[in-house]
Chain A
Amino acid sequence: MSAAGGDRRDGDRRGRRVRGSMVPEAEFRSYYGRPIIKEPAWTWEVPWYFFAGGLAGASASLGLGARLAGNHRLARAAWTVAGAGGTAGVPLLVSDLGRPERFLYMLRMFKVTSPLSVGSWVLAAMGPAAVGAVVSDRLGIFPRLGRAAEVAAGLLGPALATYTGTLVADTAVPVWHEAGRELPFVFAGSAAASAGAAAVLLAPPGDAGPARRLVLAGALLELGAAQAMEHRLGELGEPYHQGPAGRLARLAKACTAAGAGLVAAGGRRRRGVAAAGAALVLAGSACERWAVYKAGFQSARDPKYIVGPQRARMAARQSEQIEP
């Protein structure tokens, strides 16, 4: 574009079609092409926290389900993963803070308007409960307390797995905010697939039937919700087709689909195949969070994602006023 801020974007940009979109790119004005909103200040810990939280949360539910079904070997595997994921989440969340020594300030108050506040409380309750459940199960101590911890963690697990979708949606970043209805489902599917995959790797194949089915259900949900998200975003979803986020999104889909297929094909007889599939599903789940994370940065960087939709919104409002 021309250097002078405020000038119309050059004519050759008008009407150019965006890859993956039938809508021509709208002409828009900007201040020297500078971003309007800030890119997030977050670093690599955050997408890994989303992955660990999802893995831990869905594993806790799987563990509780296995316990209720009397499948104790699967329960042990799932609770081990839930405890490990819940434990890993804490240092990831703390080290991303600009002032890590103040991590306890996260629990100064409870604010429903802040998904990060709600999530910190969920993690603070679910993490220790999951670790307590593992300790009780492995050492055979305080069995009743252990079961109570399993119930608490198992019920909080789905919240831990999905709130992170709302966390990123509750921002001014267009590719996150406008996908607020789908992101928790993408994360729920990704979490379920990863928890199933981890249990496939750790539990005896004869006991891991529910875990394999959870992989399939989770993969379907993840892929379907991601598709629905990109459909809703339309032009705003461009970051999922470009640059690092585009590469990660494609990798996530390929790994998740191929991995789920291998887990189904491997079943309980071909353990190696199922294990390879499970590893791919875990990689796909991690790539999915990284794709969402990176897409947010790409979306925040370009003012066209802000100006275009806001102008369209204003025009729609105006035409409503003219002919109600």
Chain B
Amino acid sequence: MKVDLPTPTFGGGYDGQARPRMGFFTDTSVCIGCKACEVACKEWNLVPQDGPLSLSANSYDNTMALGASTWRHVAFVEQQRGDQGLRWLMSSDVCKHCSSAACLEVCPTGALFRTEFGTVVVQPDICNGCGYCVPACPFGVIERREEDGRAFKCTLCYDRLRDGLEPACAKACPTDSIQFGELDELRARAERRVATLQEAGVAEARLYLEDEADGIGGAGAFFLLLDDPEVYGLPPDPVSTTRDLPTLWRAAALAAGTLAAAVAVAFAGGRR
């Protein structure tokens, strides 16, 4: 059974202090793979080095995935397309700030919370490093930094937002591939951009995670892609695991009842 949870999180608990929901629209059709977003993110947020320097041999991608110390990640896809030659796909990935955020929902301490901007942020002074958010995320974004013990991910530059600034990655992006703004406005802009591209003959242009009816209730950070999501390392149809919780809890209750019944039956035969 699936339940459609409303997205009660936006504005809730802020007593009129809530702000419009802010997000990213990443238009990968104009990404040039400069990685300025990765660098700006690292510098602004003081994110440490993510392991020893090494070359992956997978095109120009040497960070390979989002993680505790990689909050922006630029993917490089090389495609041989017959007589059209080589095609480059570049895409800057980031935490999706889901409407139904599994990481936030499974967090037992409340360290993960929904900000007044509708973004999902870890409070480092609360996180006790239980690691539950790590396998809960359908995108593999959040991760425990082993030398530190706590979980880390993109904060959508919460500190900058509170001061009226745009996130460091969007600020640094030279082609406006990363666009920051009010989510409603970004969605309208993205629709126009897809239409423009398709008119220009780019039939494969599509939006990813912009739909509030999808398995995560739509994302605060959504994308314009030029191929299937899995080609960029993204799940094609992500669903927040907590949407199935009624079924899961019912199974646990039934199993607990079965266990109690098994014990009761064991005593039916007497002492010997």
Contact = CB atoms under 8 A, between A and B. Distances in A.
Provide the main secondary structure of the chain A interface. Answer: helix
Contacts of A109: 108-110
Interface in A272-312: 296, 300, 303, 306-307, 310-311
A115 to B, nearest CB: 7
A263 to B, nearest CB: 12
Interface residues of B, number: 82
A32 B76 CA distance: 10
A170 B259 contact: no
Nearest to B5: A113
A206 interface: yes
B233 A31 contact: yes
Given A32-B58, A41-B144, A181 B251 contact: yes
Contacts of B188: none
A165 B231 CA distance: 33
Contacts of B272: 206, 209, 268
B140 interface: yes
A102 B247 contact: no
Interface stretch (A125-133, A139-147, A172-180, A240-248): A172-180
A310 B235 contact: yes
Given A5-B58, A106-B128, A114-B132, A213 B248 contact: no
B260 A111 contact: no
B255 A165 contact: yes
B143 to A, nearest CB: 6
Contact of A166 (B78, B231, B251, B259): B251
Nearest to A60: B263
Interface stretch (B43-51, B189-197, B237-245): B237-245
Most chain B beta-carbon contacts within 10 A, residue among A6, A42, A65, A314: A6
Interface stretch (A17-25, A82-90, A188-196): A188-196
A116 interface: yes
A42 B133 CA distance: 11
A97 interface: yes
Nearest to A46: B131
A148 interface: no
A99 B129 CA distance: 5
Contacts of B230: 28-31, 36, 303, 306-307
Nearest to A181: B251
A320 to B, nearest CB: 14
Contact of B139 (A36, A71, A117, A163): A36
Contact of A192 (B138, B143, B231, B259): B259
A218 B255 CA distance: 12
Interface string A149-172: 000000001110111011001111
B108 A6 contact: no
Given A62-B263, A206-B271, A172 B231 contact: no
B259 A310 contact: no
A106 B144 CA distance: 17
A112 B252 CA distance: 13
Contacts of A100: 128
B150 A99 contact: yes
B249 A166 contact: yes
A7 B80 contact: yes
A184 interface: yes
B129 A4 contact: no
B149 A314 contact: no
Contact of B235 (A32, A36, A42, A188): A36
Contacts of A62: 263, 266
Interface string B79-113: 11000000001000000000000100111111100
Nearest to B66: A38
A185 B232 contact: no
B135 A37 contact: yes
A313 B130 contact: no
Nearest to A307: B230
21 contacts: A4-B77, A31-B77, A32-B64, A34-B64, A36-B139, A98-B127, A98-B131, A99-B128, A99-B149, A99-B150, A113-B105, A169-B248, A171-B132, A172-B135, A172-B136, A187-B255, A206-B272, A209-B272, A307-B236, A310-B236, A310-B238
Instruction: Please give me the 8 A-B residue pairs with the lowest Cβ-Cβ distance, nearest first.
Output: A98-B129, A98-B149, A31-B233, A184-B255, A41-B131, A102-B128, A158-B256, A117-B108
Interface of B: 57-59, 61, 64-65, 67, 75-80, 89, 102, 105-111, 126-132, 134-144, 146, 148-151, 227-228, 230-238, 241-242, 244-245, 247-249, 251-252, 254-260, 262-267, 269-272
Interface of A: 3-7, 28-32, 34-42, 57-58, 61-62, 64-66, 68-69, 71, 74, 96-100, 102-103, 105-106, 108-109, 111-117, 120, 157-159, 161-163, 165-166, 169-173, 176-177, 180-185, 187-188, 191-192, 196, 206-207, 209-211, 213-214, 217-218, 221, 268, 296, 300, 303, 306-307, 310-311, 313-314
Given A3-B58, A62-B266, A102-B129, 7 more contacts: A5-B75, A31-B233, A100-B128, A169-B251, A171-B241, A181-B247, A211-B266
